[in-house]
Every structure is written in C-alpha cells, then in structure tokens.
Structure 1
C-alpha cells in the first residue's frame, strides 16, 4: 500500500513540509559526500525560510497546549489506558518545554551567520555555489566528512526542538483518523463531509494499481479523482477503472 496525505489547512501544510525537510536533512547529513552535505545545507536554508513565515513557535505551543488540554479531559475514562495517556502527555510536555526554552525566531541563528547567508544568496543563482564563486565554501566542502557533519549538526541543533514538536503533533493528527474502505467508480469518488472539521485527508491504495489520487475538499464535500501518472507528457490521464482505496479524515 502507498498512502497520500492531503493537508486541508495551512498550519498542517507547514508541519508536513517541515517534517519532510527534517527527514531530508537527517538523510543527507548522515552521508559522507560533499555533494550530500551541500544538499543538507540547502535544506537547512529551506527550513529557516519556511519557519520564518509567521510566528511558528507560538503556533506550535498553542497547538500542543490544545492537545494537552483535550487529552487531560480523558483521564478516568475506562476506555483509555492510563499509562498510554501519560506517555503521550509526557511527549507533549517535553515538546512544549523545549519550545519555551528556544529564544528568538525559528532559524535566526542561520540568518545571523554572515558566511552562511552569503552561501544561501549564491545558491539562489543557478550554479552559483561553484568554487570560483565561493572559495571559502569550496574549502569547507573539502574538509573531512566528520568536520562538515559536525558543522551541520551544530547549525541544525537549535532547530531540533521544533522537529520534536512537529513530530508529536503529526503523530497525534495521524492517529486521530480512522480508515474506511471505499471504491472510486470509474476513478472518481465523492463523500459529503456534513460540516465536520478535517485537517488532513489520507488516501491509501495498492501501489500495483498504478494510480495516484487528486483530492479537493471543503466543509461540504470531499472529492477524490484517480489519475494514471506519466513522465512522458505534462498531463496525466484520468483513470476510468473502479479503484478500491481507504480514506481517513484526521484532525487536531
């Protein structure tokens, strides 16, 4: 099975984008090559730029606080395992504490580093980070892998509190959804949402079917259309087959 996630609100879009950037950062930082570390540094710049939009820190704290309040209300509920509840609340408390300890705007340490910002500016130009453009960066790229990795870890360290908060919120969001099986007749499906609040829609299908979903949603209805992706032309063809899939509505 392959699952596709479609955020319905902007704050969930940001959480998913940050999650992907943190995943990419870890992957490329753990490698040894200079090219991989170049991508890791680009990823750090993307994270700082994304996190600088709005007040990410206060939004994360507010979301964590809302989740803590909602879960605390479940105490003494016989259907809820007390130890599991305590574990989740502990993760929320830890993430909130780390956010409160973080001072300044997300990624400000990177923006305050003139050397890094010079590299970021040159990276915005196609091929602009060549050795003749940035001799000092080329020197850094030729340092031992351990030295480059240590620098990447040092630059990323202040952002890890946000990584933990994002992970906690997305886990709670994903766990809130219950999957139900449906069939898209001739590749299309619609379900009335009845005004219920949805923050994320997850569509799961058998990868062997060779289709991908496109989702549009509002407070009245959810529409799913399956397409047959192609790399040979700009437009994918809409599927006309009956497609079995599962659908989950998630909310924070």
Structure 2
C-alpha cells in the first residue's frame, strides 16, 4: 500500500517538508562515505531555509499546548484508557519543555559558524563545493567517518527539539482521522466538505493498481483524479474504478 498525503494549509505543508528533510538527514548521516555526509550537511542547510519562519517554534508550542488541554479533558471520561492519555501527556510535556529550553532562533548556531556559512554559500552554486573552492572542507571530508558524524550531529543538536516537536504534532494529526473505504468511479472522486476545516488528507491505494492520485482540495470540496504511468513515465488519465482509503485529519 502507498500512502499519499495532502496538506490543506501552508502550516502543515511546512511541517511535512521539514519531516521529509529530517528523514533524508537521518539516512545520510548514518552512512560513512564523505559524499553521503556532504548530503547530510547540505540537508541541514535546507532545513534552515524551510524552518526560517520566526513563528514556527511558537506555532508548535501553541499546538502542543492545545493537544495537552484536549487530552486533559479526556481524563475524566471513563471510556478512555487513562494510562494511554497519561503516556501521551508525558510525551507532550517532555517535548514542550525541550523546545522551550532551545534558546534563540532556529539554527542560530549554524548561522553563527562562519566556516559552515562559507560552505553553505558555495553549495548553492552547482559544483561550488569542489576542493579548489573549499580546501578546508575537503580536508574535513578526509577525517574519519566517526569524526564527521560527531561534528554533524553537534551542528544538528540544537535543531533536534524542533524536529521532536513537529514529529509529535504530525503523529497526533495522522492519528486523529479514521480511514474510510472509497471508490473513484472511472478514476475520479469528488466529495463536498461543507466548509469543514481539515488540516491534512491521507489517501492509501494498493500499489499493484498503478494508480497515482492528483489531489485538489479546499474547505468546500475535495477532488481526486487518478492517473497512471506509461513507459515514458508521463502521467495519463486512468479510466477504471479505483478503490482507496481516505482519511481526513484535523486536530
């Protein structure tokens, strides 16, 4: 099964982009080749670009607090497992405290490092990180994999609380919805949303169908059109019925 996600607003779009970058970073930083560590470092620079919004940290703190208050209201409900609620509340408290303790602007430690900024300035240019452009960076890449890993994780460290927070927020958002089985007749599906506000859509489809959803949505209507790929990989309309699971997520 393949899961496709569609954000309904810029706020969730930013979180999903950062999550994607974090997954990429985690993969490459645990590799050993200098080129793989170069990608990990360049990914940190990309994170700074996406997370540059000054209000991202405060947005996450506000959302964590909203989730905390919502869960506290469930505590008195006899139909809710109190141990599960307490576990999530503990996680919310811990993540919030770590995010509050992260002083200064997101990634300021990287921005204050002149050496890293010189590398960032060159990596923007195609092929700009060659050894004749950045001999000191070339020398750093010749260090052992363990040393490079320690350096990169040290630079990433102050960013970790932000990514722990967004991971928790996205997890709670994904768990807020219930999958519903749908069928796109002749490859097309429409649903009126009656103005109800959602944060994200999750669509699950069997990969054996070769169906790729093109999604468009606002607070009034959801539209899904399935396409497929030929030998040239160019999308073309799929005219057969496509069963799929639809999950509308909202805090």
Alignment of 1:14 with 2:18, yes or no, is no
Alignment of 1:245 with 2:244, yes or no, is yes
Q: Per-residue displacement from partner, 1:144-186 (whole Å, max 9, x unpaired)?
A: 1011000001001101101110111011000001000011011
Aligned to 2:150: 150
Secondary structure of 2:74 counterpart: coil
Alpha-carbon distance in 2 for matches of 1:8, 1:61 = 20
Offset of residue 201 of structure 1:
0.2
- Structure 2: tracts of 5 or more residues without a match: none
- Closer, same or farther in 2 for the Cα pair 1:76/1:15, shift >3 Å? same
> What are the residue-to-residue correspondences of 1:83-98 with 2, within 5 Å?
83-98=83-98
Offset of residue 78 of structure 1:
1.7
Counterpart contact for 1:48–1:108, Cα < 8 Å: no
* CA RMSD, 1 decimal: 1.1
- Closer, same or farther in 2 for the Cα pair 1:50/1:231, shift >3 Å? farther
Alpha-carbon distance in 2 for matches of 1:228, 1:107 = 41
Q: Per-residue displacement from partner, 1:187-238 (whole Å, max 9, x unpaired)?
A: 10001112222100000000001111111111111111111135726x4111
Aligned to 1:2: 2
Aligned to 1:77: 77
TM-score (norm 1): 0.97
Offset of residue 54 of structure 1:
3.3
Q: How many residues align?
A: 251
Secondary structure of 1:73 counterpart: helix
Aligned to 2:137: 137
> What are the residue-to-residue correspondences of 1:21-32 with 2, within 5 Å?
21-32=21-32
Secondary structure of 1:214 counterpart: strand
Aligned to 2:107: 107
Alpha-carbon distance in 2 for matches of 1:181, 1:173 = 19
Counterpart contact for 2:54–2:105, Cα < 8 Å: no
Aligned to 1:211: 211
- Structure 1: tracts of 5 or more residues without a match: none
Aligned to 1:188: 188
Offset of residue 120 of structure 1:
0.6
Aligned to 2:68: 68
Aligned to 1:229: 229
Counterpart contact for 2:176–2:249, Cα < 8 Å: yes
Alpha-carbon distance in 1 for matches of 2:103, 2:212 = 42
Alpha-carbon distance in 2 for matches of 1:115, 1:231 = 46
> What are the residue-to-residue correspondences of 1:44-55 with 2, within 5 Å?
44-55=44-55
Alpha-carbon distance in 1 for matches of 2:118, 2:204 = 43
